[in-house]
Structure 1
Amino acid sequence: MDIGALKIALLVRTHASIAGAARALNIDPSSVSRTVAGLEADLGIRLFHRTTRRLTVTEEGQAYLTRVAPLIEELDAAQDDARGLRGQPSGVLRITASVAFAYRVIVPLLPEFLAQYPDVTVDLQSSDANLDLIENGIDLAIRLAPAPKGDLVSTRLMTTRYRVVASPEFLSQQKPVLHPNDLGEMNCLRFALPGLQHSWTFRRSDCPPFEVPVQGNCLFSNALALRHAACTGIGIAILADWLIDDDLRSGQLVALCPDYDCTASAFETAAWALYPNRSYLPQKVRVMIDFLRRTVHASSR
């Protein structure tokens, strides 16, 4: 059996498209189509239903590809291990992450990664939009969220915690914040995203979660801008620990209600590395995932 043909078929399944797999491989779609047709002839089954408008996996094709995918992954891993004795990962590695996470966490780690893997070129696409990995040809995404759902493969990099913070200058002009409910009467800086603008949620071991309505005269769509606004004394913000730990240590920001867990969305959140499929995972992606798992948590301390 042609291993290359199996990899192409798995890519067609991942992209749900002959053209998408061809773009990923930088080859002509007709070549992908011929390869899939030849594989189907060898197997004696149809892997995909193809029309002029869409492509879907057949029941037989799904069962077969699901079974062979882990085998292909193991073959690739063994090959990568063997090659690792002779050479280094290489090629362009396309990564996407939020603007704040890229700036605060990923970019400071790049010198160490590139020193270890000098033949890899990192294309870091910072965006607060969740870019489609398949459509944009992205190898790896870093997302800040609860446990991801869907077809993407996920690996936890670190757990995140959120804190309510403000500058000492701002707090010196306000009444003391003795309880989260006191925040409802103060100027709160908010994310301009649905579901995150009008209330924050708190909990403590001795009480169930409760919401506090918040209001304020500024909305931000970017965590870096939100942090800067809090540091300059405009108001109170809720921000991730990896973004503000240095500010808390230096005293530029002060944590309010530290006995409470807080969130604007969900309590159990983390930074996740997401990639399209375990199969046909290039060595450059594997080494970056392993590198981030070793270093991201330490870099946020």
Structure 2
Amino acid sequence: MNLANLTLIQDVARHGSFAAVARQRDVDPSSIGRLVAGIEEELGFPLFARTTRRMEMTEAGAHYLARIIPLSEELDRATDECRAMQSEPRGTLRISASATFGQRFVVPRLAAFRSAYPDVAVEGIFSDNNIHLVAERVDLAVRLAPAVAGDYIVSKLMDTRYRVVATPGYLRQAAELKRPEDMAHHRAILFPYRDYRSRWIFRDAAGTVTEQRVDGDLVLSPAGAIRDAALAGLGPALLPDWLIRDDLDHGTLHPCIDGWDVTATTFDTAAWLIYPSRSYLPAKVRAMIEFLRGSSGNRH
């Protein structure tokens, strides 16, 4: 059994169809079917049970897959270790992040990264779904949270802070917005998660915490859509500093309820770099980690 066949079995098991794997590889679906049939003939047992809508793994196929995944990972690790002997990182780096963080923070930095590391190809998976790193073969992920649990290697990329912001034009014609209770006179632009759309938490300089109910008839996601709506003058919004830093610098958004910390969940939040737990860190991943840390303006 060669490495290409091991990878093919895993891809078909993950996607559940020959057609999906064929599209991924830009080949005819019938060629994938012939390859799988040849593998099954070589093994002497069926790997997949075919139905009209989807293929499921047989009991023998599932057992076989569970045994070959560690072997496949070991082969990938051996390849990465050999590549790490080279002076420059190389290969394909799969990086995952939330939709807005990926678009607003990662993508603008890719030109400089590719210039520094021309032998590294980048595949970005930017989605608000919680992607499984191992199943999706993700090398590096960025998660926005107070902390990250699980069997991963985790390091902080940067602390994050939230601000209530609105456009100068909105603030000129709207009610005063200088204290938490002033939110009662505004229709906020809200995020669909429960805490973000029902109440925001404020903390003054003395450490006193106040919970303030927020109301609004505009609920949007991802966070980039909320920023765009705020820039359109549709109301105040609660947004992270990494997303609105340029808007504040250019004056297109203005901070409200200044002098208070604000959050919808907890005041201690961060952007975390995570990758599957393994004893060896490929050079391509190390290069991206150091690059993102350097360009974030924070080092941890």
TM-score in same-fold range (> 0.5): yes
8 Å contact from structure 1 (residues 157, 271) kept in 2: yes
Count residues in correspondence.
Answer: 246
Alignment-derived partner of residue 151 in structure 2: 151
Asked whether 1:258 is paired with 2:258, we answer yes
Q: Distance in 1 between matches of 2:258 and 2:84?
A: 47
Q: CA deviation at 1:265?
A: 1.7
Q: CA deviation at 1:95?
A: 0.7
Q: Deviations over 1:144-170 (max 9, x none)?
A: 111211111111111111100011111
8 Å contact from structure 1 (residues 157, 297) kept in 2: no
8 Å contact from structure 1 (residues 76, 280) kept in 2: no
Instruction: Percent identity, please.
Output: 42
Q: CA deviation at 1:283?
A: 1.8
8 Å contact from structure 1 (residues 162, 263) kept in 2: yes
Q: Distance in 1 between matches of 2:123 and 2:81?
A: 26
Q: How does 1:71-86 map to 2 (within 5 A)?
A: 82-84=85-87
Q: CA deviation at 1:208?
A: 2.3
Asked whether 1:224 is paired with 2:210, we answer no
Q: Deviations over 1:43-64 (max 9, x none)?
A: xxxxxxxx99779xxxxxxxxx
Q: Letter of the aligned partner of 1:103 in structure 2?
A: Q
Alignment-derived partner of residue 104 in structure 1: 104
Q: CA deviation at 1:116?
A: 1.4
Structure 1 residues 94 and 77: alpha-carbon distance in aligned structure 2, compared to 1, 3 A threshold: closer
Q: Distance in 1 between matches of 2:80 and 2:294?
A: 19
Q: Letter of the aligned partner of 2:263 in structure 1?
A: T
Q: Distance in 2 between matches of 1:208 and 1:76?
A: 55
Alignment-derived partner of residue 160 in structure 1: 160
Structure 1 counterpart SS, 2:150: coil
Structure 1 residues 293 and 79: alpha-carbon distance in aligned structure 2, compared to 1, 3 A threshold: farther
Q: Deviations over 1:19-60 (max 9, x none)?
A: 69x99xxxx9x9xxxxxxxxxxxxxxxxxxxx99779xxxxx
Structure 1 residues 89 and 264: alpha-carbon distance in aligned structure 2, compared to 1, 3 A threshold: same
8 Å contact from structure 1 (residues 98, 143) kept in 2: yes
Q: Over the residues paired in the alignment, what is the CA RMSD in angstroms? A: 3.4
Q: CA deviation at 1:285?
A: 1.2
Q: How does 1:5-16 map to 2 (within 5 A)?
A: none
Q: How does 1:1-301 map to 2 (within 5 A)?
A: 82-84=85-87, 88-297=88-297
Q: Letter of the aligned partner of 2:251 in structure 1?
A: G
Structure 2 counterpart SS, 1:182: helix
Query: When the two structures are superposed, what TM-score results if normalisation uses the length of structure 2?
Result: 0.71
Structure 1 residues 120 and 182: alpha-carbon distance in aligned structure 2, compared to 1, 3 A threshold: same
Alignment-derived partner of residue 23 in structure 2: none
8 Å contact from structure 1 (residues 163, 238) kept in 2: yes
Query: When the two structures are superposed, what TM-score results if normalisation uses the length of structure 1?
Result: 0.71
Q: Letter of the aligned partner of 2:118 in structure 1?
A: P
Structure 1 residues 220 and 278: alpha-carbon distance in aligned structure 2, compared to 1, 3 A threshold: same
Q: Deviations over 1:91-134 (max 9, x none)?
A: 11111111211122111111111111111110011112221111
Structure 1 residues 271 and 248: alpha-carbon distance in aligned structure 2, compared to 1, 3 A threshold: same
Q: Distance in 2 between matches of 1:258 and 1:54?
A: 59
8 Å contact from structure 2 (residues 84, 283) kept in 1: no
Structure 1 unaligned runs (5+)? 1-17, 31-50, 56-72
Structure 2 unaligned runs (5+)? 1-8, 15-35, 40-59, 65-76
Structure 2 counterpart SS, 1:157: strand
Q: Distance in 1 between matches of 2:156 and 2:83?
A: 23
8 Å contact from structure 2 (residues 152, 274) kept in 1: yes
Q: Distance in 1 between matches of 2:141 and 2:165?
A: 28
Structure 1 counterpart SS, 2:115: helix
8 Å contact from structure 2 (residues 175, 185) kept in 1: no
Structure 1 residues 207 and 282: alpha-carbon distance in aligned structure 2, compared to 1, 3 A threshold: closer
Alignment-derived partner of residue 45 in structure 1: none
